[in-house]
Amino acid sequence: MQRVEGKSIFGGIAIGKIKFYSREDRQVVRRHVKNVNDEVERLYRAKEEALCQLQKLHEKAVREVGDGPAEIFQVHQKVLNDRDYLGSIIHIIETETINAEYAVACTSDNFSQMFEAMDDEYMRARAADLKDVSNRMIDILYGNPGLEIESDEPVIIVAEELVPSETVQLDQKKVLSFVTRKGSANSHTAILARTMGIPALTDITVSRQWDKNTAIVDGYEGCIYINPDEDTFLKYKEKKNNEIEKRKMLEQLRGKPAVTIDGKEIMLYANIGGVKDVMNALQNDAEGIGLFRSEFLYLERSDYPTEEEQFNVYKTVARNMAGKRVIIRTLDIGADKQADYFGLEHEENPAMGYRAIRICLDRTDLFKTQLRAIYRASAFGKIAVMFPMIISVDEVRRIKIIIEEVKVELKNDMVMYGDVEIGIMIETPAAVMISDLLAKEVDFFSIGTNDLTQYTLAIDRQNSRLDCFYDSHHEAVMRMIKMVADNGHKEGCFVGICGELAADTTLTETFLRMGIDELSVSPSMLLNVKSQIRKVDLSKSCEISN
């Protein structure tokens, strides 16, 4: 038995066979061919198969994540149809009489090097697209299916790293767990794991020799057991059975209100990253969407999403939520969330740099495009908007001026929009300390505990070396949350928490006694938190402890 420790992204127990995935499995061999015409014909057949795959992936991505993120697959189709790209491959096949796989690899290397050397962020970003497309072509030519799960039973996916273009094509019913060496709590894979409610680990030193071996993933302790011995297997089998029984008990809470024993109703909302997450939110009894991470419309694509693309996504979510509140957080790009086409310069400390609302207030055309889409969608449901990384009253007033300009533009264009509540993220100590002033400007607060904790404790939450110093229950953080709740309520604002702490059931009663009105968590955690809410009796005096 081998036990390997890492970092937990989402808790839970998974027991099953490992499916090891590596992009490095592509070993392209140069081979002489006798008939170049046959080889060119083989290339064209591979191209058509690749186009077919990309079209299916695009349709699947549109259904699950919306038009914006799905556009990457249309970009890849354009690369495949590019005359220069295809012409270079054919030229190498014909002049060097070599196999198509090697010609594709050569062209990919040559074009990628040219793009990466250009003094243009957009063109440098094309290098990644070209490599992705070329790898797909090589897989098809070699008969390699890529990341497909052929097992009849669900498996544990183990990889160095998983990117969105890989996870989006997975049959989620066949995935027990994600285990990777690279990744973060904010990666697409991590968010997918939380949405699916399956254990996930990162910072694991993975090995391809694990493939097809039996393993146990412990998402609570942050470790994986390879070929567990009988005692370990039986112990975790019992833990897994207990998990299943607990889930059955939680299922009985569907349709019941998130209300304390003494009758205090709590708004229990879901965090989502796109259209695909709405069904999970509704199935788990979400009373609304407390955090729509709109940045996922911008990530993993080659250019800015248009107003129409954003509008269609926001409208779809609003309609599906059928009158329940949907809180859309405006663009939160920067720090650990990067998109090459934004052309953001390298920063020594990006977490405190040019990000989120700072980009929006600097690039007002970009900001207005998103706001127009949000306000247009508000005609189809109950939409609210909130702004991240606020540190001053002046920022909020500048935002409100831009909102008024957008509303005037829509009126002039005779475009309908609804009554949109305005809120802000409280995730900086500055916002906490002036929350009494900020509350006079907005309708609600949503506390982003992830960033608030890292800024308060001066600890980079992406730096695993600092995990032993990171304390999300720190007294300073708790006092800040209480201060925000008090100041918000004095001005009639409702106050919520949408960070990871909202799902920490050891703090649920503490938050309710502080006066928190709304908790927004991953869909898979909704019933857990509801169960905890229904056990609290606020009429009984209780000393708040951390």
The whole-angstrom separation of Cα 537 and Cα 262 is: 5
From residue 425, give the alpha-carbon distance in Å to each of 201, 290, 406, 438, 460: 28, 11, 21, 11, 19
The whole-angstrom separation of Cα 384 and Cα 182 is: 35
The whole-angstrom separation of Cα 307 and Cα 403 is: 15
Residue 412, burial from CB neighbour count under 10 angstroms (0-12, 13-18, 19+)? exposed
What is the helix (H) or strand (E) element at residue 20, kind and residue range?
A: strand 13-21
200-202 vs 7-10, strand pairing mode:
antiparallel
Q: Are 516 and 495 contacting, i.e. CB atoms less than 8 angstroms apart? A: yes
Residue 437, burial from CB neighbour count under 10 angstroms (0-12, 13-18, 19+)? middle
Q: Which of 218, 228, 312, 303 is nearest to 9 (CA)?
A: 218
Secondary structure of 48-105 as H, E, C letters: HHHHHHHHHHHHHHHHHHCHHHHHHHHHHHHHHCCHHHHHHHHHHHHHHCECHHHHHH
Active site residues: 188, 498
